[in-house]
């Protein structure tokens, strides 16, 4: 009986040892894969423990431009984003606060497809590479907004700080109709359209100054189809229609921070510091 038990015990010990040898590398592999997945969360938890937002280092502020002037519409902070791929940051509800004055202001919403004086604002979600001009004062069109290919038309008779891009699609590059069965008359209209500056509409005086040979179809097209609304209708579905820039207005006139010797903190929705500007 003793002779039978001894081989059995030896085999049992061998199986246990083999199981341990197999299990250890497998466990190590699992731990290694877990380490790579947890690196980000560990970093975020460390930031939180130190009072910093998980977006610290990913969302950055510039110094305040126009700080020493008296016009709130020319005073702004530039915010840039360096987020991970497919990561977003909802900045609506974040706020800026002065450590000296104690004043704070909350970042609101913005129109993704802006039309002047039309309140269609949504929460702002930044992606990698997006940028924000955060202006202390008031919007020339009454709302905060995301820029697009046609936004340069807003510059007419308005002042934006900084200026908007005047990179609207050229009118002569649109799908133009035939303005006259007379080729010379048609060419005359094409020449007029080619001479129009980008992002510019024409007024009644411009039409009155056109030669009598210009067809009524040409005049109607110029006055009704070369503008912001028509540009949006023609290019809304273009892949590059929406820009990566927001113009956000805080609608404040009075003091928020000191002109000298202040520290401005940007806080996220959990009251954690995202970035700081000191001067």
Query: Which pLDDT tens digit goes with each residue over 18-37?
Result: 444 444 443 443 344 455 44
173, containing H or E segment: none
Structure confidence at residue 24 (pLDDT): 43
- Tokens at 137, concatenated: 């004062």
Task: Say whether both 45 and 117 belong to one domain.
Answer: no
**Residues constituting the chain:** 279
Task: Say whether both 145 and 73 belong to one domain.
Answer: yes
What is the pLDDT averaged over residues 33-62?
Answer: 71
| 105: in domain | yes
| 164: in domain | no
pLDDT band at 6 (very low <50, low <70, confident <90, very high): low
What is the pLDDT averaged over residues 56-60?
Answer: 98
What is the pLDDT averaged over residues 227-232?
Answer: 98
122, containing H or E segment: strand 121-122
Q: How many CB atoms lie within 10 A of CB 147?
A: 20
Task: Say whether both 111 and 244 belong to one domain.
Answer: yes
Task: Say whether both 82 and 145 belong to one domain.
Answer: yes
- pTM beyond 0.95: the answer is no
214 closest CA partner among 171, 174, 182: 182
> What is the residue range of 10's domain?
1-50
Task: Say whether both 13 and 32 belong to one domain.
Answer: yes
pLDDT band at 51 (very low <50, low <70, confident <90, very high): confident
Contact status, residue 259 vs residue 136, Cβ threshold 8 Å: no
Mean pLDDT rounded to a whole number for the chain: 88
| 113: in domain | yes
Q: What percent of the chain clears pLDDT 90, i.e. is strictly above it?
A: 80
pLDDT greater than 50 at residue 8: no
Structure confidence at residue 119 (pLDDT): 87
Task: Say whether both 23 and 74 belong to one domain.
Answer: no
| 108: in domain | yes
Judged on CB neighbours under 10 Å (0-12, 13-18, 19+), 104 is: middle
CA 206/CA 230 separation, integer angstroms = 19
Q: How many CB atoms lie within 10 A of CB 98?
A: 17
pLDDT greater than 60 at residue 41: no
56: number of CA atoms within 13 Å, CB side? Answer: 22
Structure confidence at residue 13 (pLDDT): 44
């Amino acid at each position: 009986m003793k002779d039978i038990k001894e081989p059995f015990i030896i085999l049992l010990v061998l199986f246990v040892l083999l199981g341990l040898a197999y299990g250890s590398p497998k466990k190590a592999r699992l731990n290694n894969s877990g380490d790579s997945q947890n690196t980000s969360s560990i970093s975020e938890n460390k930031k939180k423990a130190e009072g910093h937002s998980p977006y610290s280092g990913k969302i950055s502020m510039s110094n305040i431009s126009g700080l020493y002037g008296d016009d709130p519409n020319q005073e702004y902070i530039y915010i840039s984003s360096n987020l991970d791929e497919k990561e977003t940051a909802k900045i609506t509800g974040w706020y800026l606060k002065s450590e000296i004055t104690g004043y704070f202001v909350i970042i609101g919403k913005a129109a993704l497809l802006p039309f002047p004086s039309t309140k269609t604002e949504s929460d702002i979600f930044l992606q990698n590479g997006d940028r924000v001009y955060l202006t202390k004062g008031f919007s020339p069109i009454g709302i905060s907004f995301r820029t697009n290919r046609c936004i340069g038309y807003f510059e007419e008779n308005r002042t934006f700080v900084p200026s908007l891009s005047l990179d609207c699609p050229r009118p002569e590059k649109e799908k133009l109709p035939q303005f006259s069965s007379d080729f010379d008359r048609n060419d005359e209209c094409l020449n007029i359209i080619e001479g129009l500056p980008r992002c510019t509409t024409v007024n009644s005086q411009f039409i009155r100054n056109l030669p009598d040979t210009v067809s009524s179809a040409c005049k109607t097209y110029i006055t009704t189809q070369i503008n912001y609304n028509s540009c949006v209708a023609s290019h809304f579905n273009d892949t590059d229609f929406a820009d990566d820039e927001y113009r956000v207005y805080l609608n404040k006139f009075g003091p928020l921070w000191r002109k000298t010797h202040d520290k401005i903190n940007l806080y996220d929705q959990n009251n954690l510091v995202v970035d700081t500007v000191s001067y």
